[in-house]
Amino acid sequence: MTRRTFYLTTPIFYVNARPHLGHACTTIMADAMCRYRRLRGDRVYFLTGTDEHGDKIAQAAAQAGVSPQAYADEIAAAFRATWRRLGITNDDFIRTTEARHKQVVQRILQTLHDAGEIYFGEYGGNYCFGCERFYTDKEIVGGKCPDHQTPLTFIKEKNYFFRMSKYQEWLITHIEEHPDFIQPERYRNEVLGFLREPLQDLSISRPRSRLQWGIPLPFDDGYVTYVWFDALINYASALGFPDGDLYRDLWPHCEHLIGKDILKPHGVYWPSMLKAAGIPIYQRLHVHGYWSLGGGKMSKSVGNVVEAFQLTDKYGYDAFRYFLLREMNFGLDASFSEEALVGRLNADLANDLGNLASRATTLIVNFGRGVVPAPGPEGAEEASVRETLERVRREVDEAMKEFAFQRALSAIWEFVGRVNRYVDSAAPWALAKDDSHAERLRTVLYTLGESLRCLGIVLDPFLPEAAGKIRAAVGTGAPSLADLEWGRLAPGTPVQKAPGLFPRIEVKVSETSQAAGQSSASRITLDDFKKVDLRVAEVVAAEKVARSKKLLKLTVTVGEETRTLVAGIAEHYAPEALVGRKVIVVANLEPATLMGIESNGMVLAGSTEGTVSLLMPDKDLPPGSRVK
């Protein structure tokens, strides 16, 4: 693997609001990407920070009755503390009120002014204080800001302007010649769309009589610079532009990650500013979509980005981080709800990953006397586990090139699922009963230990805490993608049990049903419910139904009785993975004949978006136990 240099930035966040879900989303994505690139062995530099000048910060400070600087100090400290709490691994945190930044802004302003790129003129236009920019007539929707849906203010005043219009043709050519300059493609097309209209020059100043809270123009101290001209430059000032070592080493590798709301400043203003100042253009702009809220049905459903963010404390940083990365298709919008978060936590983290870590380590401790045994020859099942890992590794690498965290995670979960099925089919507990299977047992335990070791590496960017615990349990140290080669786990490595990596969250029935807002007409009485005889059943045999893609024939025991059931789960469960598992069945359903087989009862399963999950008791219960 070639070692590359990678410099990634987040937007610098306004200090008029405390950190919330939206800020956390971008910062967590950037962190996952930087951790992944470090894991690859790349030289990584990760920058975030705060944007502290401008009208709205001055207004927020005035409302709070403190000076803008004191206000900015407090909120910037809150951002820093939050990122520390969430385990964000940024290398620097820039504030636009720092001297190192102001100097660079003034220097670039002076250069552009000297070169005739900045001129004094008058402009009248519709201004949004939320976005801190003018909107053209075409962009305005119903007389309001398209982003904030608030009325715009008509401002006409004398100001300094940057000759941005001059760069329109150059920018179109640059984007066309560099197909991955702005990604995903829809945002590249959006920027090319902006550039189909004549580009206006950019107002870069405010008269001091109206706004004090900004960086004075070096050539006219009656004016301060306008927020975008100040803010965007942070990406270079943080590296010590123009002659700092970091600037020299990192600038040629600069990539930005932003939300779609600030596409135009990053996709149009910033490259034009860089071009005019003779600074090389950044390499790539990565744009993610927006989270919307309130789609959930829990009674305490979240209503705003701040409340949503508070769920980090309730469910843990890893679970929150996993949800954001897993649930958002990079570039598209996504919907946040507490219910969906708990769903992912229970299904993917507690059930799939947590159970696997707990089962696999317990098996090694119990049947391998706490150390990884030397494996015997690899059988077909082990080869399939290894091949799944090799494929997943390639898929993760491809996905991460495009910031497609969601695809990377779904690939990793294919591996988790494969290993879970392997535990069931290899059944080490059965092998342990017979000494003649000792070698096979060692092979199975080794495969489980090795699978966990690999998960401890590949999960590190996405679930840093849990990955660390998995590595500690299988006795491996600092993770590196170079070690994601099957077979590197040394026999003799001590293993410790890893129980309860992610405890399941019990959702109170009253919470969900109240919130579902069901009318009394659609409810049933307890007596109605009691008519359904739900039982624990053990699957003793399972096979595919001939000529059916969907059906499995299951033989189950319910107490003393053995029955045949037909279930539409063949696309989601391999028959062999079900043998020995306990499921929940409706025991008093009228028999039905499916593909010529009489089914006596129904297996319960939940489903969403193509995922089907059988209900299984989370503690051991004898077949026939009543479920109520």
Annotated active-site residue 297? The verdict is: yes
Instruction: Give me the catalytic one of 300, 401, 508, 530.
Output: 300
What is d(CA 273, CA 261) in angstroms, rounded to the nearest whole number? 19
Candidates 6, 7, 13, 162; binder of ligand MSP (CB under 6 A) is: 13
CB 50 within 8 A of CB 95: yes
Closest to ligand MSP by CB, 72 vs 551, is 72
Told to judge if 300 belongs to the known catalytic residues of this protein, a careful annotator would answer yes
> Which entry of 25, 131, 254, 454 is annotated as an active-site residue?
131
Residues 260-299 as x/- pattern, contact with ligand MSP by CB under 6 A: -xx---------------------------xx--------
C-alpha span between 374 and 360 (Å, rounded): 16
The least distance separating ligand MSP from the CB of residue 287, rounded to whole angstroms, comes to 9
What is the nearest approach in angstroms of ligand MSP to the Cβ of residue 164?
Answer: 16
Burial class (CB in 10 A: 0-12, 13-18, 19+), 199: buried
Minimal distance, residue 284 CB to ligand MSP, in Å: 16
For ligand MSP, the closer of residues 219 and 290 by Cβ is 290
C-alpha closest to that of 448 among 359, 370, 349: 359
236 binds ligand MSP (CB under 6 A): no
Find the part of the chain contacting ligand MSP (CB under 6 A) among 31-39, 40-48, 227-235, 509-517: 227-235
Would you say 205 or 451 has its CB closer to ligand MSP?
205
Closest CB to ligand MSP among residues 232, 340: 232
Query: 23 an active-site residue?
Result: yes
| Binding flag, residue 320, ligand MSP (CB under 6 A) | no
Number of residues binding to ligand MSP, judged by CB under 6 A: 19
Query: Between 409 and 614, whose beta carbon lies closer to ligand MSP?
Result: 409
Asked if 471 interacts with ligand MSP (CB under 6 A), we say no
Residue 228's H or E segment, with its range, is: helix 227-231
DSSP 253: G
Contact (Cβ atoms closer than 8 angstroms) between residue 298 and residue 337: yes
Cα angle 424, 585, 572 (rounded to 5 degrees) comes to: 45
Query: What is the 3-class SS of 296-351, one letter each residue?
Result: CCCCCCCCCHHHHHHHHHHHCHHHHHHHHHHHCCCCCCEEECHHHHHHHHHHHHHH
Distances (CA, A) of 618 to 310, 315, 351: 29, 20, 9
Stretch that binds ligand MSP, among 22-30, 66-74, 390-398, 531-539 (CB under 6 A): 22-30
Place of tokens 């715009």: 152
Binding segment for ligand MSP among 67-75, 255-263, 468-476, 572-580 (CB under 6 A)? Answer: 255-263
Q: Minimum distance between the CB of residue 335 and ligand MSP, rounded to whole angstroms?
A: 11
Distance CA 122, CA 534 (A): 77
Q: Can you tell me the distance from the alpha carbon of 202 to that of 192, in angstroms, rounded to the nearest whole number?
A: 18
- Does 145 qualify as catalytic in the annotation? yes
Judged by CB under 6 A, does residue 368 bind ligand MSP? no
Tokens 């920018």 identify what position? Answer: 171
Q: CB nearest ligand MSP: which residue?
A: 22
Least distance to ligand MSP, CB of residue 11, Å: 4
Establish if 22 lies at the interface with ligand MSP (CB under 6 A): yes
- Only one of the segments 9-17, 76-84, 481-489, 581-589 lies at the binding site for ligand MSP (rule: CB under 6 A); that segment is 9-17
Cα 528 versus chain centre, distance: 43
Confirm if 49 and 413 have CB atoms less than 8 A apart. no
Binding mask 24-63 for ligand MSP (x = CB under 6 A): -xx------------------------x------------
Angle of the 185-194 helix axis to the 168-177 helix axis, nearest 10:
160
Token pair listed for 573: 């469960």
Contact residues toward ligand MSP (CB under 6 A) are: 11-14, 22-23, 25-26, 51, 231-232, 234, 258-259, 261-262, 290-291, 305
Looking at the annotation, which residues are catalytic? 20, 23, 128, 131, 145, 148, 297, 300
